[in-house]
Structure formats: structure tokens, C-alpha cells
Amino acid sequence: MFAVKVPKKEAEKTRRKLLELGVLAKGYSVKREGDFVLFPVTGPLDGFELVEAEFERLEKRPHSYREVVDVPEKVKPLLPSSFDIIGDIAIIELPDELKPYGKAIGEAILKVHRHIKAVFAKGSKIEGEYRVRELVHLAGENRTETIHRENGIRLRLDVAKVYFSPRLATERMRIFRKTRPGEIVFDMFAGVGPYSILLAKKAKLVFACDLNPWAVRYLEENVRLNKTNNVIPVLGDVRKVAGKIKADRVIMNLPKFADRFLREALLSVKPGGVIHYYGFGPEENLFSEHEAKIKAVARELGLNVEFLERRKVRPYAPRQFNIAIDFRVK
């Protein structure tokens, strides 16, 4: 094929010029010959030294592990189109029919996504007070600790010992944008600190409570990692600290059971303060039951609430959503 031959020192300038002219042939690697570089071009052109040369085709990199995975054709339609990535660890949900092919699926993920070093399958639902799940090792390193980057912060965590979902990054940024300098924040169910550490970049002080000793251990480490010394980690049941703290903003990120902790949240917010409540709701009735509970508990305490914002955070199960309700307490 036709090639433009230029001295090495002119290579970059020439590449840009050929790109600008739209004549650089795609899918081939550039060739080096002594002090010269050869660019494959789509046809003859004026103003360049042209030669005839052969070029190696560039390997087309697959975009999805589904393009390379070695599983029987009949199960291919069941391959999940997405999986969670936490740091350098991938966590995939496999239907029963795919479980015998876990190793092949894990290896295909490692092959396509070079930054992933370990692949696990979800081995159970999220369970218990600590909200963790079992994981089954599929391929790569058999390691569950990693460092995850999101919203400009770094979070060290062990995916087998603590709760963490990368799918909440946008929601956390939404709360960060609402936070005002000088605020006192109470993160009632803090985990390893994805809300607390982010909000600490703006707030005056963040109380970050969690029952899971592993979560608090990582939270303490993440405070050091991000130099957010205005985060106060609290290990234990939030019921013991609620009411002792008076915050401008309270975060209740325990969607499965948040309604059981409304009293504690309402007792911990200053007059005029805001509570970010999370729950799960069916598509046909996302918010009203949660709002009824919020109003009932507020009434018992002689408080009023003003609903500020209601939103679907993410799909949770078929026709079920993780929802957020922001309300002001008066």
C-alpha cells in the first residue's frame, strides 16, 4: 500500500497533517525504518514522498468480555452486559446457568479490562446488619482489598468485609453540591466513608458512625489517606450517639432499614436542618409510604417536615428502585 516516508524528527508533525487531511489509513501500525517513519495512507497524494510498503494490521481490541469469553453458544445470551468495578476488582452477578463457566468469564474480563486484577461473583444477596455479601473467586488474584477512586477521593476497602457500591457516586456528588461550608454533618451509616470524606472537603465537621468494625477501620484509614481530619469516626450502634449530635445535615444511607432510625435522625438534626433519607420502593409507589412514616415520626416528636426533593437513585430489583427523599425539619 502507499506510504508517506519522513525522517523521524518530522514524524509527529506529519502524522497530524495526515490526520487533518483524513488520509491516514486506519487499522495499521506505523512502521519504523532506520531514521525514517512510514505512515500508511489511503491513496496517492501530492506534496509528500510516497513509497510502497507493507504494514501490519493492528489487533482489533475487543470492547466487551462477551466477545472473547469461552462458553457454549447456548448460554451466551445470558452473559451479563455489565458488572461493578471497585478499584481493581470486578464483581459480577451470574445466573445459575452461567455458574459452571465462572472461571472462563473471569478470565475473559481480565483479558479485556487490563486494569482489573481480580474477578469475583456475587455469592449471596446483601445481608445482615453490616450489609455485606458473600463473594466467590473466579479469576485473577484472590484478594478482596483495593483502593477505589471516586469524586476525587480515595477509599481503601475490603469488598468482602464492608458494604460499598460504586453506583452511588453520582448521588454522593449530589449531596456534596448541597452541602455548605461550615456545616456539621452526621453520616449515620457511614461505611468506609464515601459520603463522609467527600463532604468533609466542604463541611466544618462530619460525624461518621458505623456498626461494622471493619468499616470503621477502613474509614479511619481513609481519613488519613484523604487528609480529612474533620471526620470523626464513631464505632457502634447509631442509636447510642443519636440525639447527642446536632447536625445541619443528616445522611441515612441504610435503605433497607432507614425507616427504623427516623426517630434517631430527627433527634440529631438542628431546627431548619436537612435529612437525606434513602429507601427502596416499588415502581408504582416509590415515595408515599416512606413519606407517611417520616411525617408520623416527626409528629410524635412534635416536629414539622418540609419535603424538598424526591428522586430515584438507581434500579434495585425488577420494578424496584433505591429512592432518596430530602426533607427539612422545622
Ligand X SMILES: C[S@@+](CC[C@H](N)C(=O)[O-])C[C@H]1O[C@@H](n2cnc3c(N)ncnc32)[C@H](O)[C@@H]1O
- 70 or 237: whose CB is closer to ligand X? 237
C-alpha cell recorded at residue 25: 489509513
- List 130, 176, 280, 316, residue binding ligand X (CB under 6 A): 130
Q: Closer to ligand X by CB, 158 or 210: give it.
A: 210
Query: Is residue 98 a contact point for ligand X (CB under 6 A)?
Result: no
Does residue 185 touch ligand X according to CB under 6 A?
Answer: no
> Is-contact 159 146, C-beta < 8 A?
yes
Contact between 238 and ligand X (CB under 6 A)? Answer: yes
If binding is defined by CB under 6 A, does position 129 make contact with ligand X?
yes
CB nearer to ligand X: give 119 or 242.
242
Cα(173)–Cα(283) distance, rounded to whole angstroms?
24
Q: How far apart are CA 127 and CA 73, in angstroms?
A: 34
Does 210 help bind ligand X (rule: CB under 6 A)?
yes
Choice between 105 and 216, CB closer to ligand X = 216
Which of 197, 215, 275, 297 binds ligand X (CB under 6 A)? It is 215
d(CA 246, CA 267): 8
Q: Minimal distance in Å, beta carbon 236 to ligand X?
A: 7
Q: What angle do CA 74, 80, 83 make, to 5 degrees?
A: 155
Q: Which residue is nearest to ligand X (CB)?
A: 191
> Phi, psi (5° rounding) for residue 289?
-65, -40
For residues 263 and 301, give the distance between their C-alpha atoms in angstroms, rounded to a whole number.
Answer: 8
How far apart CA 50 and CA 40 sit, in angstroms, is 10
Q: Which of 28, 65, 189, 321 binds ligand X (CB under 6 A)?
A: 189
Task: Look up residue 156 and give its three cell numbers.
Answer: 481503601
Residue 250 beta carbon to ligand X: minimum distance, rounded to whole angstroms = 12
Looking at 22-30, 107-115, 126-134, 286-294, which segment touches ligand X (CB under 6 A)? Answer: 126-134
Extended strands (E) in 238-304: 247-252, 269-282
Report which of 160, 88, 321, 68 is spatially closest to residue 79, judged by C-alpha positions: 68
- Binding ligand X by CB under 6 A: which of 38, 211, 297, 324? 211
Interacting residues toward ligand X by CB under 6 A: 129-131, 163-164, 168, 189-191, 194-195, 209-212, 215, 237-238, 253-254
